[in-house]
Amino acid sequence: MWGEDPLTFALLIIDMLNDFIKGSLKIPRAEEIINNIKRLINKFHAYKMPVIYVNDSHIKGVDRELSLWGQHAIEGSWGSQVIDELKPMEGDFIVKKRRYSGFFSTDLDLLLNELNVKSLVLTGVATDICVQHTAADAFYRGYEVIVVSDATAALNDERHERALSYMREVYGAKILKTAEVEEMISKPQP
């Protein structure tokens, strides 16, 4: 049963979709974080903690964000699918979003409540856009926010580092490496 532990963590995998990793809006360093996210997925599965994919899924010709960034992650397209290396497994959760934040007009908050999740481990892309906006909404709702610095990526390193600092200073986010999160998950919770 989910959520029996009073301090349940959830792993959020944000926008690890074909368009962002290999396609039209490719983020140069995103390939480098795939293995770290895979390690975290394995860890969360081993400890029976929830793994939640938060995926852009836009409506063509409707979503305003498309005029800023061009066509990407159109619902039903190849570009909107999670990359083959990180395909969701049975028991994982999938939340579709149409804005940067995983909370905006989605049922992510309801899902986290029902899973009794208190702490979010954020991974994926882009650090300064969808990860940061999801972190903001998580902070507003009272979740502890952990951002994995070597399992997130932005269009360049400067944007990545700036977003990590911002989330640490403004949302009180913990910035940890993959190995530190693995260790944290393995420790018995108080």
> Which lies closer to Zn ion via its Cβ, residue 63 or residue 182?
63
- Shortest CB 72 distance to Zn ion, Å: 6
- Shortest CB 140 distance to Zn ion, Å: 21
178-186 helix and 34-46 helix, angle to the nearest 10 degrees = 0
**128 touches Zn ion (CB under 5 A):** no
The radius of gyration computed from the CA coordinates of the chain, to the nearest angstrom, equals 15
Q: What is the largest CA-CA distance in the chain?
A: 49
**56 touches Zn ion (CB under 5 A):** yes
Q: Provide the residue type at 96 as one letter.
A: K
Q: Give bridge partners of residue 152 from the DSSP assignment.
A: 124
CA 27 to chain centre: 15
CB within 8 A of 103, min separation 6: which ones?
A: 109, 134, 137, 138, 141
Sole window of 1-9, 64-72, 86-94, 182-190 interacting with Zn ion (rule: CB under 5 A)? 64-72
Residue nearest to Zn ion (CB): 56
- Shortest CB 155 distance to Zn ion, Å: 14
> Which lies closer to Zn ion via its Cβ, residue 1 or residue 68?
68
- Shortest CB 60 distance to Zn ion, Å: 12
> Which lies closer to Zn ion via its Cβ, residue 117 or residue 155?
155
Q: How many residues does the chain have?
A: 190
**15 touches Zn ion (CB under 5 A):** no
- Kindly state the helix (H) or strand (E) to which residue 190 belongs, with its residue range: none
φ and ψ at residue 187, rounded to 5 degrees: -75, 140
CB within 8 A of 121, min separation 6: which ones?
A: 9, 10, 11, 12, 40, 146, 148, 181
Under rule CB under 5 A, which residues in 22-41 are in contact with Zn ion? none
Sole window of 16-24, 52-60, 159-167, 169-177 interacting with Zn ion (rule: CB under 5 A)? 52-60
Sole window of 48-56, 84-92, 104-112, 177-185 interacting with Zn ion (rule: CB under 5 A)? 48-56
Residues in contact with Zn ion by the rule CB under 5 A: 56, 65
